[in-house]
Amino acid sequence: MAGFADVLPGFDPGVVVESLPVLVRGALVTLQISALGILLAGVLAVPVAFARLSASRAVRALAFLYVDAVRGTPLLIQLYAIFYLPPLVGIDLTPLQSAVLALGLNGGAYTAEILRGGIVALPKGQVESARSLGMTQWQAVRRIVLPQVVGNVLPALTNEAASLLKGSSLISVLAIIELTRAGHQLVGRLLRPLEIYFAVALLYLLVNAAIFWASHALERRLVAHR
């Protein structure tokens, strides 16, 4: 591997190989927490997006407050808040629960804004025709609005999922041994930051690529009905 030695003096590919098992285990934790976080974000985002468009002023204001507070503060502060504040009122969450909750609440706000944009952009006639065909409001939303909106905003949703994956690295501060913390610990033990962070970056790039690949696969399925 002369190439590495030229660019990065002292780079030992053996260290990368040696640290891979530990890092892959960390990557699986990252994957699990990110997937749960993305799921929670999606579940939260749909009602919040509709709440932002609600006829009731109080509902609109409440939804706006949630979205604006999340988007106005760093994820790291939100993580600390979810980790340190619930115990003060007697709620005990495991670090894993805190992590998923924080990522879900964070992603939920951003995803709600993406969905809201998609809903507003959808021609009114779509809902009106569905209603005049005898669908209930809920049926129209589930069968007509959401499938089209999700299809239209899929690139933005994919970016959000990728950003949530990268954001999950911050939960390393909650003492969860995911990919970033696994790497950080190995660096402390082996004192080989170059090789280990190289491997960590490689694994993140891999998972990131997988998200975009899955999104393309989903896009092909979603546009099938057109």
Q: Which residues bind other proteins (CB under 8 A)?
A: 9-10, 68-69, 71-77, 80-81, 84-85, 88-89, 166-170, 172-173, 180, 183-184, 187, 193-194, 197, 200-201, 204-205, 208-209
Rounded Cα gap, residues 97 and 87, in angstroms: 13
Least distance (Å) between residue 70 CB and other proteins: 10
CB nearer to other proteins: give 145 or 162.
162
Contact 177, 189 (CB under 8 A): no
CB nearer to other proteins: give 85 or 223.
85
Least distance (Å) between residue 201 CB and other proteins: 5
CB nearer to other proteins: give 115 or 145.
115
Instruction: Collect all residues with Cβ–Cβ distance below 8 Å to 39 and sequence separation of at least 6.
Output: 104
Residue type (1 letter), 5: A
Least distance (Å) between residue 194 CB and other proteins: 5
**What tokens does 28 get?**
């699986």
Rounded Cα gap, residues 161 and 107, in angstroms: 8
Least distance (Å) between residue 222 CB and other proteins: 24
Q: Which of 174, 143, 166 is nearest to 212 (CA)?
A: 166
**What tokens does 167 get?**
């954001």
Count of residues making up the chain:
226
CB atoms within 10 A of CB 161: 22
Rounded Cα gap, residues 146 and 157, in angstroms: 13
CB nearer to other proteins: give 116 or 184.
184
CB nearer to other proteins: give 9 or 21.
9
Least distance (Å) between residue 21 CB and other proteins: 19
